[in-house]
Amino acid sequence: MQSIELMALVCLAFISDFALARPNSDRMNWVGFKNEYGKDYQTAEENEQRMALFLATKERIEQHNSNEQSSYKLGLNYMADWTPEELAGINGSYFDSIGHERIRKLELSHDDDPFLQAILAEPAPVPVRVDWRSVPNRVSEVKAQRKCQGSWAFAATGVLEGQQMERNLLMEPVSLSEQQIIDCTMHADGCTGGRTDIALKTIEGLGGIAGELDYPFLGPKDFCWYNPNKFIMKVRGVKTFVGEEDKLEKLVAKFGPVAVTISREADALYYKSGIYTCSKKQSSWNDWILVVGYGSDRKFGDYWILKGSWGREWGENGYMRIRRGVCQIGAYVTIPLV
């Protein structure tokens, strides 16, 4: 009888160890993730909740990556343990609150600019491939918007930073202030959405934009306290084009980095590599982003090179290649006159 009871205890112990093997593995992955991204949660309850979010994200990523037919891979990053509300907080656009049809009818262009007119009227064909990252000082460093839907402000600074040296405006490149844009743009919702064209118009109205060192990024909208003596660049007008991908190609080739809207899907936040595409037709724009080049893949066709504002941990060191003709890229294109 005792030998039977002993055998039963041994079996129970074996089963318990087997049942705990997966959770222990999950916890090891969770600890490694927290160490990599400097995560530290104050309560055991939040730690468990965040771990559950992380494991669910990890499972979705592994499921996607198991599809050998997919043109892109997903990967874990610092957003892997965010709640649905936190992820939703970096989605959204000011477009939703004023209507797409009204946007399409807006005329934001100033008087014809000789520089831009020369670009658009140039009869010579554009290069087959363009990557402004390979040209010194044409693409500024990748930044991170954190838990702020400030992509519209980051796209505004990025498109301006790309013109600093090309137009001989500065002796050396200077990172510009997204926080000034967030704080001082009246017709925007701060960290809940805005528009790059309005951001550029705001800079024009203020008389310029300060550097990031003088007006650092903190996130949420606050008091507008700009100092004109600290301005680094000025904007003298804004050009906006609607729904013309061919014109976008010419602008990227001749002008440099260009700010555009995009209708990205949720998994784009975990994009790691490859040629991204949208699986379904999107009905609304939910982000602003920079187009910094374009090229072609032998298997998956033509693509744009996008610069995100989610840090270098995201994507291909902060960049994404996305198939042309998807996700409404080029539906709304904005560049500044400087």
What is the phi/psi pair of residue 311, to 5°?
85, 170
- The confidence score (pLDDT) of residue 159 equals 96
Q: Whole-model pTM?
A: 0.86
18 and 166 fall within a common domain:
no
Residues 102 and 49 in one domain: no
Beta bridge partners of 72: 274
Q: In the block, which residue shows the tokens 């060192």?
A: 213
CATH code where residue 273 lies: 3.90.70.10
Same domain, 62 and 176: no
Which pLDDT score is estimated for 48?
93
What range does the domain containing 292 cover?
Answer: 84-337
Residue 210 and residue 101 share a domain: yes
Supply the pLDDT for residue 28.
93
Residues 44/30, Cβ–Cβ less than 8 Å: no
Q: Among 70, 98, 121, where does a domain finish?
A: 70
- Count of positions (residues) in the chain: 338
Exposed, middle or buried: residue 170 (CB in 10 Å: 0-12, 13-18, 19+)? middle
Task: Give me the pLDDT at residue 106, please.
Answer: 46
DSSP-H helix ranges across the chain: 2-37, 44-65, 84-88, 95-98, 100-105, 114-121, 151-161, 178-184, 196-206, 245-254
Domain count, the chain: 2
In a shared domain, residues 108 and 248 = yes
Say yes or no: 157 and 24 in one domain: no
In whole angstroms, give the CA distance from residue 323 to residue 278: 9
The CB density around residue 159, as the number of other CB atoms within 10 Å, is: 28
- Joined tokens for residue 97: 């609150």
Residue 76 lies in a domain: no
Last residue of a domain, one of 70, 95, 116: 70
Positive or negative, the CA dihedral 255, 259, 262, 265 is positive
Tens place of pLDDT per residue across the chain (338 aa): 444 444 444 443 433 343 344 578 889 999 999 999 999 999 999 999 999 999 999 999 999 999 999 999 999 999 999 999 898 877 655 554 444 444 444 444 444 557 667 777 777 788 999 999 999 999 999 999 988 988 999 999 999 999 998 877 777 889 999 999 999 998 767 787 888 999 999 999 999 999 999 999 998 888 999 899 999 999 998 888 776 788 889 889 999 999 998 888 889 999 999 999 987 666 566 789 999 999 999 999 999 999 999 999 999 999 999 999 888 887 888 899 88
Last residue of a domain, one of 70, 101, 120: 70
Per-residue confidence (pLDDT) for residue 155, from 0 to 100: 95
Please check whether residues 313 and 243 belong to one and the same domain.
yes
**Residues 132, 173: one domain?**
yes
Structure tokens at 220: 């949420």
Asked if residue 153 and residue 291 are part of one domain, the reply reads yes
199 and 50 in a common domain: no
pLDDT of residue 63: 96
